[in-house]
Amino acid sequence: MFPPVDLPLPAEILVITDELSAPADFLLHRHLVDNLKNSSNAKCVLVAVSEDLGRWKSLCQRSNLNLSQYLDSGVLSFVDVMRHTSSSLNGETDASLRSLFWELKKQITVSSENSHVPVSVILDNIASLEWMGILTLDLTRFIRALSALCRKNNASLVIRHHITTSGERDDILRHLLQLCTYHLDVFPLSSGRSGSVSGQVALHCGPGTTKPTHRLIPRSAAVQYRLTDSGSVFFDRGTGSGVL
Amino acid sequence: MPPLLSSAIALPARNQHLLLLQSSSAQTCLPILRAVVEHASERTRETTVLFCFLYPPSSFLEASNESRENVRVFDRTGHVPGYGDEDEKMLKDVALEAVQSAPPGPITVVIDSVDTIFSDNGSPSETIRLLAELLALVRARGGTSRLVLHVVSPSPLLPLLTQTRFSPTLTQLIAHPTALLTHIAAAYSTPPPPLTAPEKFWGLFIPFSERAYESERLVFGAGGEGSGLQEFAVEVLVRGPGADGAARRRGVERVLEGWSPAQGGPCELRDLDGLQSLWSKKLVPETWQSAPDPTQNLSFNLNLTPEQQRSRAQVPLPYAHEGKPVEQARAPAAILYDPDSADDLDDDDPDEDLDI
């Protein structure tokens, strides 16, 4: 079954990378929907940089999930990063990330102290922050602090990062890969666009992961997926005809 | 003779006080660092001090081992400049105090990410100074005391840490993806020793492996498997006397060994699954001597029975004159030429007046 249900577990960090021709939006939506629907007492913190709440609401509607209801009940918190970082576009960038960090710390520690509920934090995405002009050093420090915070509070963290040039790794991604427990690698078919296969997904483990609990999937044996109106369908290479 | 890698991990030599583990974004060396920490923590007569700046302590020790008396863990992953308490103690004071206050006897000091210390203080000289002070404290303890450092290349600290000025003796373990060795064997026809002469191999391998983008391209580019492979090759570099104290080494000894969880950790290169294709002998088919026979392995019979051959020989061939010479008038061979109006035909030999 792909992707594995318990990916990531509490205190684990999952980095999802995608490319322009194979975006990983469907994985983030799937993760959010699974968290809200399946666990009765879960708490989610959705930290959005480039997409606003309206888009998330309409996408979750397709999975019969009413986000407003979860927002009102406090199960889901939505943090708009632009509120913190818009001031940094003129001057120093470090202060805006710090204010974002303190807000996230408040959200995560309050919920974990109150009801010992596993918190799931979704950060979408880091690349946009870098493109906005925030310094790489400030971003890496923010990621380090956020990872340590989630680990300390037993929260799971999902970070999405866009790869601009296929096959090349930028500094932020190198840093993310050092910190992550698992890395979901979404990439397009090498033969170009296809009507029946939208892309491929591989699963790697991070350097600090000693005994991976999930079956790792190298790029040469990547699972293929196809986007549908209601979600996504996964199948192994060469078995598409049985699924599609 | 035991492989250098396993002795570097489990049996530190008495004079080798610095162990440097080098990862890259293409291949991590952390499994080896974990093995080093585990082995050190099991030596109960020695103290192990572990400083975690980037990776959580669980990456190196089981939770049960963290609470051992001879193991002291400093989890500084949450100490990020600008994101913590402003009045926390300086790292230098914490680190030096931790080593000085350890019980007497051999000590193993492990730093999981030297680059993070450098990133926090922004000064290579300050970082090197701190590490040099730690190394001096470790060396003063003598015995099998060691300072174990982990670096991710490319790093500006690497050339400073590998200098003899920093430490005359050094054991350096560099992790390389197996894709690097298969690429060099395929593109340059140079498989690793002993299949190739060591001088030829190292002359090619060292500059190629030092270019980080080449390894990244092989791992992350088209045709790459991505990072996180459990098996990898390890370049072991030992400067100074090693574990086998009898061999007084001059200069630097450099070998390539392997790491495979399936084999229990350190292993020979030939035991790695990803490199099996290099070691298997390929028989070159002798196609130039005998072309493949297309009449073999068919589902129908192409051969003729003797009766069929006899009746075939009796079939008259359509060319009626086979074997008989053509009879024709024997005319002498001649060239008949009719000159036109522009042609200056002269039967004399134009070269008559030449006097050579």
Alpha carbons A152 and B234: distance in angstroms, whole number: 33
Is A207 within 8 Å of B220 when comparing Cβ atoms?
no
Please name which of A56, A108, A33, A46 lies closest in space to residue A76, comparing C-alpha atoms: A46
Which of chain A's residues have a Cβ under 8 Å away from the Cβ of B217?
Answer: 167
Is B25 within 8 Å of A185 when comparing Cβ atoms?
no
Give the pLDDT confidence score for residue B19 in this predicted structure. Answer: 94
Packed helices A94-115 and A136-152: angle between N→C axes, nearest 10 degrees: 10
Give the pLDDT confidence score for residue B1 in this predicted structure. Answer: 41
Alpha carbons B152 and A143: distance in angstroms, whole number: 18
How do residues A194-230 score in pLDDT, each as one tens digit? 888 899 999 999 998 888 888 899 898 899 999 888 7
Tell me, letter by letter, the H, E, C secondary structure of B180-214. HHHHHHHHCCCCCCCCCCHHHHHHHHHHHHHCHHH
3 state DSSP class of B259: strand
Which of chain A's residues have a Cβ under 8 Å away from the Cβ of B154?
Answer: none
Positions of chain B with pLDDT lower than 50, given as ranges: 1, 246
Q: What is the widest separation between alpha-carbon atoms in chain B?
A: 123
Percentage helix, strand, coil for chain A under 3-state DSSP, each rounded to 5:
40, 25, 35
Give the pLDDT confidence score for residue A122 in this predicted structure. Answer: 94
Question: Model ipTM?
Answer: 0.89
Q: Provide long-range contacts, Cβ within 8 A and 24+ apart, for A69-78.
A: A70/A36, A70/A44, A74/A43, A75/A36, A75/A42, A75/A43, A75/A44, A76/A36, A76/A43, A76/A44, A76/A45, A76/A46, A77/A43, A77/A44, A77/A45, A77/A46, A77/A107, A78/A46, A78/A48, A78/A53
Give the pLDDT confidence score for residue B249 in this predicted structure. Answer: 58
Is B30 within 8 Å of A208 when comparing Cβ atoms?
yes
Is B78 within 8 Å of A152 when comparing Cβ atoms?
yes
* CB-defined contacts A:B, below 8 A: 88
Q: Find the CB nearest B83 among A141, A168, A169.
A: A141
Give the pLDDT confidence score for residue A157 in this predicted structure. Answer: 94
Is A145 within 8 Å of B225 when comparing Cβ atoms?
no
Q: Find the CB nearest A141 among B59, B80, B228.
A: B80
CA B124 to chain centre: 29
Please list the pLDDT of chain A residue by residue as tens digits (244 residues). 677 877 888 889 999 999 999 999 999 988 998 888 877 778 899 999 988 889 989 888 888 888 888 888 888 899 988 888 776 666 665 678 888 999 999 988 877 666 667 889 999 889 999 998 888 999 999 999 999 999 998 899 999 999 998 878 889 999 999 999 999 999 999 888 888 889 999 999 999 888 888 889 989 889 999 988 878 888 888 776 666 5
Residue A80 pairs with which residues in a beta bridge?
A48
State the average pLDDT for chain A.
86
**Which residue type sits at B39?**
H
